[in-house]
Amino acid sequence: MSRPTVYCPALFLTAPASNQGKTTITAALARYYRELGKVVRVFKTGPDYLDPQILTQASGQPVEQLDIWMAGEAYCQEKLYLAAQEADLILVEGAMGMFDGEPSSADLAARFGIPMAIVMDVKGMAQTAAALATGLANFRDDVQVAGLIANRCGSERHAQLIRDALPETLPLLASLKRDDSVTLPERHLGLVQAEEVKEELEERFQAAVTWLTETPDNGLLTLPEPVAFYSTIEENAADEPDLEPVLLGKTIGIAKDAAFSFIYDANLIALEKLGAKVVFFSPLNDKTLPQVDALWLPGGYPELHAQALSENHAIRTEIQHFYESGKAILAECGGMLYSLETLTDLEEETYPMLGILEGQGAMRGKRGCQGMQTAELPQGEIRGHAHHRSRSANTPEPVGYGRRQRHPAPGEALYQDKGLTASYLHLFFPSNLTAIGKLFLPSSIGENR
């Protein structure tokens, strides 16, 4: 028997480009409705670690990724369905521009019938903002657009010029004044991690609620119309019927601190589905490893803490012994940089790292690599993405490369040695749970080398 349809108000915040204010406005809405006593579930389109940290703090609820390519339609549909059962409002923040990427934010909104609100920084234009919004709204017939949110509006006269130029079918939902007190802090890979500026974020959220409520004729302060959410999983059926809990009885130690925090909640859930227990440790502060069977060194900002990581000799020695014992270690991006022999930071200072993977890492300013890739590993194909502004040199021969989503050139190198798997790629575990289970079993890595 199929499960019943669930109805929940929902809104998808999109934009013509990046840096229009989507995250600021999504966070402001989440906090506004949370303060009204509503349960707000927020989702982020595409691979992103930093925005979800901000949105989690704003909403008080976990924030997960929705990406049709990385996770699959059925996965996204089930996440929305489960959220609709508990939420008073679902917000989805898009990535880049409305139609950018394959699949795009518009593809996701159209697939699940969620109306889109176009966020646009209107500084320096008036009627042109209306023309751009109208073009976006009418570009595809399968996308429903609820209206325009004019961000950084200079005055009520400015807003009126935009409002008068919009067609009746495309209302001006809100005209939000320029206010630097609500702008979220940033750094070289995007927003600053929420834990680093928790108190400052609270101040900005409160300012953002005032920012919203002081806006005249603000259609955002009324819940949007309910959207129907469905499930493809039969009632009382397991969502992964053939999944073997191969990590049952195993404990995975996960590096988590200011240097390592790029961790999808979906990946933690995936490890638990495989039977594993997860515990966290800090390569910055801890002197000993917890009692674990495998390690995950995720991405983050090791370059900002290279000296402290280098000077924690005790934990470096423990991880080196862990590697020498042949136990499984997964090192992603920043975790891979930590695994190398040395790391040169943004100030061009070089520090010793773990040395469990041959090679040297170095930051390279604003140049970098990003994009969706499939890790073609001996254990199976796992989807993920690259986003880094560093390079590695003198590394060993890889066991494979990432397959880029839309380009024939080889993607990121994939390294395996003893129980170690290392790459610049950030893996999305739910895309292939069977392969992930093998990566955390050292015998599986050895068998496939």
One DSSP character per residue, 61-125 reads S--EEE-HHHH-HHHHHHHHHHHHHH-SEEEEE--SSTT-TTTTHHHHHHHHT--EEEEEE-TT-
Q: Which of 174, 194, 229 is the last residue of a domain?
A: 229
* Same domain membership, residue 188 and residue 101: yes
pLDDT at 444: 63
Is 446 in a helix, a strand, or coil? Answer: helix
The answer to whether the CB of 322 falls within 8 A of the CB of 329 is yes
Per-residue pLDDT of the chain (449 residues; tens, 9 = 90+): 678 999 999 999 999 999 999 999 999 999 999 999 999 999 999 888 788 889 999 999 999 999 999 999 999 999 999 999 999 999 999 999 999 988 999 999 999 999 999 999 999 999 999 999 999 999 999 999 999 999 999 999 999 999 999 999 999 999 999 887 777 665 444 445 555 667 788 888 898 899 989 887 789 999 999 999 999 876 655 566 678 999 999 999 999 999 999 999 999 999 999 999 999 999 999 999 999 999 999 999 999 999 999 999 999 999 999 999 999 999 999 999 999 999 999 899 999 999 999 999 999 766 556 788 999 999 999 999 998 788 899 999 999 999 998 878 888 999 999 999 999 999 999 999 999 999 999 776 654 44
Cα–Cα distance, 67 to 50 (Å, whole number) = 16
The answer to whether the CB of 406 falls within 8 A of the CB of 102 is yes
Residue 361 domain-assigned (yes or no): yes
Cα–Cα distance, 270 to 246 (Å, whole number) = 12
* Same domain membership, residue 368 and residue 399: yes
Cα–Cα distance, 351 to 442 (Å, whole number) = 29
Residue 81 domain-assigned (yes or no): yes
252 Cβ contact list (under 8 Å, min separation 6)? 271, 276, 277, 278, 279, 292, 293, 294, 295, 296, 440
pLDDT at 350: 97
Residue 51 domain-assigned (yes or no): yes
* Same domain membership, residue 276 and residue 402: yes
* Same domain membership, residue 224 and residue 78: yes
Cα–Cα distance, 400 to 398 (Å, whole number) = 5
User: Cα(first)–Cα(last) distance of the chain, in Å?
Assistant: 45
The answer to whether the CB of 76 falls within 8 A of the CB of 66 is yes
* Same domain membership, residue 150 and residue 107: yes
Is 235 in a helix, a strand, or coil? Answer: coil
* Same domain membership, residue 290 and residue 155: no
Q: Which of 196, 229, 262 is the last residue of a domain?
A: 229
287 Cβ contact list (under 8 Å, min separation 6)? 312, 314, 315
Residue type, 368: G
Residue 242 domain-assigned (yes or no): no
In which element (H, E) is residue 213 found?
helix 198-213
Is the previous residue joined to 216 through a cis bond, with omega within 30 degrees of 0? no
* Same domain membership, residue 125 and residue 180: yes
Residue 246 domain-assigned (yes or no): no
Counting beta carbons within 10 angstroms of the beta carbon of residue 62, is it exposed (0 to 12), middle (13 to 18) or buried (19 or more)? middle
Cα–Cα distance, 76 to 84 (Å, whole number) = 12
Is 256 in a helix, a strand, or coil? Answer: coil
The answer to whether the CB of 100 falls within 8 A of the CB of 110 is no
Q: How far is CA 300 from CA 82, 202, 313, 356, 402, in A?
A: 29, 23, 20, 18, 20
Q: The CATH number of the domain where 95 resides is what?
A: 3.40.50.300
SS (H, E, C) 162-201: HHHHCCCCCCEEEEEECCHHHCCCEECCEECCHHHHHHHH
Catalytic pick from 8, 76, 333, 369?
333
The answer to whether the CB of 284 falls within 8 A of the CB of 446 is no
Buried b (16+ CB within 10 A) or exposed e, 77-108: bbbbbbbbeebebbbbbbbbbbbbbebbbbbb
The answer to whether the CB of 421 falls within 8 A of the CB of 377 is yes
Cα–Cα distance, 298 to 428 (Å, whole number) = 12
pLDDT at 190: 46
Range of the domain at 326: 251-448
Cα–Cα distance, 288 to 318 (Å, whole number) = 7
* Same domain membership, residue 379 and residue 434: yes
Residue pLDDT, tens place only, 1-58? 678 999 999 999 999 999 999 999 999 999 999 999 999 999 999 888 788 889 999 9
* Same domain membership, residue 203 and residue 111: yes
The answer to whether the CB of 272 falls within 8 A of the CB of 278 is yes
Residue with tokens 């040695």: 417
* Same domain membership, residue 97 and residue 216: yes
Residue 236 domain-assigned (yes or no): no
pLDDT at 191: 43
Q: Across the strands, what pairs with 300? A: 260
Residue with tokens 């009324």: 222
Structure tokens at 196: 């680093």
Q: The CATH number of the domain where 395 resides is what?
A: 3.40.50.880
369 is catalytic: no
Cα–Cα distance, 435 to 187 (Å, whole number) = 34
Q: Which residue, among 298, 294, 251, has the nearest Cα to 272 in the 3D structure?
A: 251
* Same domain membership, residue 284 and residue 206: no
* Same domain membership, residue 262 and residue 214: no
- In terms of phi and psi (left: phi > 0; alpha: psi -120 to 50; beta: otherwise), the region of 339 is alpha
pLDDT at 181: 76
Q: At what angle do helices 105-112 and 73-86 cross, to 10 degrees?
A: 60
The answer to whether the CB of 95 falls within 8 A of the CB of 105 is yes
Structural domain total, the chain? 2
Residue 243 domain-assigned (yes or no): no
222 Cβ contact list (under 8 Å, min separation 6)? none
Residue 238 domain-assigned (yes or no): no
Residue with tokens 């490893």: 289
Q: Whole-model pTM above 0.95?
A: no
